[in-house]
Amino acid sequence: MKSSCLFIPFFGILLIIVFSCSDQPEVVVEEKVDRVEAERLLGQLLFHERRLSKDNTVSCAACHIAELAFTDGVPKSAGIEGRTAFRNSPTLFNMKDQSLFMFDGVIETLEIQALSPIQDHNEMGSSIAEILGKLKEDKVYKKQVHKAYGRDLDAQAITQSLAAFQRTLTSTDSRYDLYQKNPKQYPLNEEELAGKKLFMETFNCISCHAEPHFTNGKPESNGIQLTTEDWGRYRATGKAEDKGKFKVPSLRNIAITHPYMHDGRFTTLEEVLRFYAGKKEAHGSEVVRGYKITTGEQRQLIAFLNTLTDTSFLTK
């Protein structure tokens, strides 16, 4: 609503009562929107900035490619100087609803998370101090960080804007979501519905891959065979009960986020489901240890998993 000024005569004196005479509140709201957008843009710039890495070759986006739902299509991502990341690159959508990060699930905020790849020897091999040396006087960054935070680039501006950008990445428009909203208009076929029933009821996959994001966001063990170098969360906590636990990956956009598991050991969903149908290690949860999945059921599960692809997100 436009503001208005009222002029009211009172005891012969013309008193001017200024009632909501300025546009102040609207300006404040607009400024806030501008700042939020400026912060997002700063984060987006930094996300694609190769100078975050020691030798200026690797950006966050190198390992988290938008068209691949922010994964990178290889078992283990390429870091600086021909080195290889320790694990498979996970998706980065719907992060705003998560509270534990990394396969170990030991990092509690996106702001702190950003420091991990930046400082990791195999990934970016750099430091905040080194990055500030390169970017602080850069005209583009200077302008953008002043728009967002009204000050020069510093550690907090880097971590905060990267986190803000990632919180805007949401994927909630798959065929399955459309079906949920309006099953008549967007029906699933018989095979997909059979797969849904297996996923939700028969095999209780949903107990770990919980809706709405098809992850409960927690470290769990699906009984995967461990290699000597990676025992999952145990690596971070040293507790026996954490052996074999990895943060449950979201199954949204699963059709395109191959290869699968923390080390990218499986290339196809068929291989993943053959694993679930077969032998599990003792650290696996009771739920998965009881699985007997026929090849027909595997086909139905895959048909259902394919409905979780959000093409609008991938092309945004």
The site for ligand HEC (CB under 6 A) is made up of 52, 58, 60, 62-64, 77, 79, 85-87, 89-90, 92, 95, 101-103, 110, 113-114, 117-118, 123-124, 162, 166, 199, 203, 205, 207-209, 220, 222, 224, 246-249, 251, 254, 257, 260-262, 269, 272, 276, 285, 287-288, 301
Q: How far is the CB of 34 from ligand HEC (least distance, A)?
A: 23
Q: How many helices and strands in the chain, by DSSP H and E?
A: 14, 4
Three-state DSSP at 187 gives: coil
For β-strands 219-220 and 6-10, DSSP reports them as unpaired
Q: How far is the CB of 252 from ligand HEC (least distance, A)?
A: 10
23 versus 81: smaller Cβ distance to ligand HEC: 81
Any idea which residue has 């953008």 for tokens?
144
Q: How far is the CB of 65 from ligand HEC (least distance, A)?
A: 11
Q: How far is the CB of 228 from ligand HEC (least distance, A)?
A: 15
31 versus 203: smaller Cβ distance to ligand HEC: 203
54 versus 64: smaller Cβ distance to ligand HEC: 64
For residue 9, cis peptide bond before it (omega within 30 degrees of 0): no
17 versus 94: smaller Cβ distance to ligand HEC: 94
Q: How far is the CB of 28 from ligand HEC (least distance, A)?
A: 30
23 versus 108: smaller Cβ distance to ligand HEC: 108
CB contact set of 58 (below 8 Å; sequence gap of 6+): 50, 52, 78, 79, 80, 123, 124
Q: How far is the CB of 241 from ligand HEC (least distance, A)?
A: 14
Distances (CA, A) of 282 to 203, 219, 230, 279, 286: 18, 16, 16, 10, 9
**Cβ atoms within 10 Å, residue 208:** 20
Q: Are 179 and 188 in contact, with CB atoms under 8 Å apart? A: yes
Q: Residue 308, Cα to own-chain centre: how many angstroms?
A: 16
54 versus 209: smaller Cβ distance to ligand HEC: 209
Q: Residue 145 class from Cβ within 10 Å (0-12 exposed, 13-18 middle, 19+ buried)?
A: buried
Q: How far is the CB of 139 from ligand HEC (least distance, A)?
A: 22
**Cβ atoms within 10 Å, residue 79:** 23
Q: Are 94 and 169 in contact, with CB atoms under 8 Å apart? A: yes
145 versus 269: smaller Cβ distance to ligand HEC: 269
Element housing 271 (H / E): helix 269-277
